[in-house]
Every structure is written in C-alpha cells, then in structure tokens.
Amino acid sequence: MELFDKIKTLTELQAAPGFEGPVRDYLKREISPLVDRVEFDGLGGIFGIKENSDANAPRIMVAAHMDEVAFMLSRIEEDGTFRVVGLGGWNPLVVSGQRFTLYTRDGSQIPVVTGGVPPHLLRGANGQAKVPAIEDIVFDAGFTDKAEAESFGIRPGNVIIPQTETILTANKKNVISKAWDNRYGCLMVTELLNNLKGESLPNTLIAGANIQEEVGLRGAHVSTTKFDPELFFAVDCSPAQDTFDKNADGKIGEGTLLRIYDPGHIMLKNMKEFLLDTASDAGIKTQYYTAKGGTDAGAAHLKNDGVPSTTIGVCARYIHSHQTIFNLDDFAQAQAYLQAIIKNLDRATVDTIKGY
C-alpha cells in the first residue's frame, strides 16, 4: 500500500523540537522537483514555492510542522541513569516502560528505556503508584555509572526521541505509530504538491513545514513573517476523544476537522463560510471540532497586518505518546479537501475571505 509506506517512512523518522534535520532533509528531497524553488527561514523551516506570473495573485501558505514531542537530557546521575526535561506536552502516565533513542553530538544512537516501577516495589505505598513529574522519571541506557555514560559521548542537551514501529491495524483501516502529530502535516504537503504538479493555480502557493511547534508555535512566527502570506493554512493533527467521551469532538474515521475554536485562535466568519462551501461542493466528509490545544494558525494569524488562518486537520487517538491510532480515509478526505481549497483561492475569493 503506497500511502502506508509513505506514512511508515515519515513517522519512523525521529525529529525533536530544535532537531528537525531528518524530516527537513526528507521534505527537501520530496518537494524540490515539484516547485519553482525551495526556501528556508532563519530557524530552519522549509517551504517550496509555486510562483504565479500574475503580480496580483494572492499568496497562500500551507504549513505543517516537522517536530514531534520528545525529551532533552538535563542531568546524568552518578549511577549512569538520566533525568530529562520535556520537549512538548507529555502525560507522565504514558512515558514509563517505553523505548527511546538518545542522539549524541556525533550522531551516535543510544538505546534508552524509561524505568517502569514493578508492583513488587509499590507494596509500601499500598500497591499504588503515584504520578511522577517528568523530571523525576528515570531514563536508563544500562550504563554502569556516570563516567561510562560520558565515555559514549552522552552529555546534557542530547535529545531522546520515542522509538517505535509503524504498523497497520488488523482491519487495514487504521495505522498505529508515533508522531502522526505532525508527520500527517508533512505528508499532506508532499501529497498536495505531487497532486498539483503541472497544474496552473490562481495563486502563489508557499507549502512546507515549520520548526518547534510543540514548544510554543515558534517556527510559525518566523516563517509567516518571512513569506508574508495573505491566508495561512496549518495542517496538523488533533486528539481524538471518542474513546473517552462518546459525545466529545473528534472521532477517527469521520473525516477532516472543521476546527472552529481553540484557545489561541477563533475561525473568522468568512473563512468558515468558504470552508463549509468548499467541503460541500467537493463532497468532503467533515466534523466540527472545538480544541483544547493550539496549532501554528494561532501564531500565524497575529503576524504582519493580521493573516486570516485556519487548520486543515484530522484527529488521532492517544497522540503525544508512542502508540497513536489514526484512520487512512481521514487522511484521504483531508488531502482532497486541501487540494480543493487551494484550487479555489483566486483573487476574488481571497478578498472575500479577508473582507469584514
């Protein structure tokens, strides 16, 4: 299955906030033949540009982010174990008893596990484990002591990234992997550019991926300022809530998300009308979504003179963990939606969206 193979390749890459190189290299290879040129911002965001010869053509930006949640080594203990700080949001309950890879300065890859406390050691606490703080979780590479760890080039500042295998579920409808947040967006960008190859668009398209979204939407500030788009579309993955609350927003298999609200961004009326009309005309399966977290749209819409923005997303179960479950058809719906959106954004339509 070609789509699964692409998903497997991207999700098994390891790229922490501030260390996005493996995904950036992948994107550069994939998008360079599909655009007029590739540009980078000063922090390492990468964008392919499909120019329009009309100087009045609107500038449209589509942005994923390359980073995934990870950890940074903060201290090597005398016994050779590590303590860390989180890079992005982690629920401590999903961290223990997992495999990771630590990257040293010279690129060496060190296998690491997180210490899961066995039940035998909980008897003094009536068999009950307490939730640890992230900085108290033990990361263990099996070294004898601090000196041995340091002899392998391990130092504070090394990044530690989840290690998993991407697989299909038994029904072949869903995938289990890490990092769909946000390799989903990276694949959306490459598939968009592949499908638009050779097509004449009514706009100048700027499509690529930001750095350091998971630690505060940092890359979007830089790239939106640099490329100065009239409209901004984040492509990002949100948490499905269907296994915890049947009435909550976000069910896998129900299509792309109409993200009408999150704490950092409210969808503008004219943008919402455009998205609803486009989805209806293109026959896209959509679901309304009210979010508790943010995306790069939250940073982008406040840049320059103000940039109308939104997120073209899907949901996935158990994000920000080693084992996320997401739906293949949701991706197909989102990709078809994004293509329809980009093809419809001529000068008159963009002016309408920007009007108030």
User: Is 77 in the active site?
Assistant: no
From the list 30, 213, 230, 254, the catalytic residue is 213
CA distances (Å), origin 131, targets 243, 300, 321: 22, 35, 16
Closest of 264, 287, 265, 263 to residue 275, by C-alpha: 287
Angle, CA 162 vertex, CA 157 and CA 166 arms, to 5°:
150
Is 65 annotated in a binding site? The answer is yes
- Distance between CA 139 and CA 86 in Å, rounded? 12
For the chain, strand residue ranges (E) read 37-40, 46-50, 59-65, 70-76, 82-87, 99-103, 109-114, 139-140, 159-162, 167-168, 174-177, 204-210, 231-234, 237-239, 256-262, 265-266, 286-290, 309-316, 324-327
In sequence order, the 6+-apart residues with CB closer than 8 A to the CB of 221 are 299, 303
Angle, CA 205 vertex, CA 257 and CA 3 arms, to 5°:
55
**How crowded is residue 349: how many other Cβ atoms within 10 Å of its Cβ?**
19
Angle (deg, nearest 10), helices 180-195 and 2-12: 130
Is 320 annotated in a binding site? The answer is yes
- Distance between CA 168 and CA 187 in Å, rounded? 17
Residues in the chain: 356
Is 120 annotated in a binding site? The answer is no
| Pairing, β 237-239 against β 309-316 | parallel
Q: What is the set of active-site residues? A: 213
Binding residues: 65, 181, 214, 236, 320
Binding residues for Zn(2+): 65, 181, 214, 236, 320
